Amino acid sequence: MALFLSTYVNKIDKKGRVSVPAPFRAALASENYQGIVVFRSNHHPALEGFSWSFMEEVGRRLDHFDLFSDSQDDLATTVFGDSMQLPFDGDGRVILPGDLMEFAGLDGSAAFVGLGRKFQIWNPKTFKKRREDAREKVSSQNLTIPREVTP
In the three-class reduction of DSSP (H, G, I as helix; E, B as strand; rest coil), residue 34 is classed as coil
Q: Would you list the domain boundaries of the chain?
A: 7-124
β-strands 119-122, 84-87 pairing = unpaired
Residue 95 predicted with pLDDT over 80:
yes
Q: Which residue has the higher pLDDT, 60 or 138?
A: 138
Q: How many CA atoms lie within 13 A of 49 on its CB side?
A: 31
CATH of 7-124, one of 1.10.1660.10, 3.40.1550.20, 3.30.70.270, 3.40.50.300: 3.40.1550.20
Mean pLDDT of the residues in the chain:
92
CA distance 9 to 12: 10
Mean pLDDT of all residues in 62-81? 80
C-alpha 41/C-alpha 120 separation (Å) is 8
Say if residue 4 is exposed, middle or buried (CB neighbours under 10 Å; 0-12, 13-18, 19+). buried
Query: Which amino acid, residue 11?
Result: K
pTM: 0.89
Portion of the chain with pLDDT greater than 70, in percent:
100
What single-letter DSSP state applies at residue 45? S
Predicted pLDDT of residue 93: 98
Express each pLDDT in 30-69 by its tens digit: 999 999 999 999 999 999 999 999 988 888 887 877 777 7
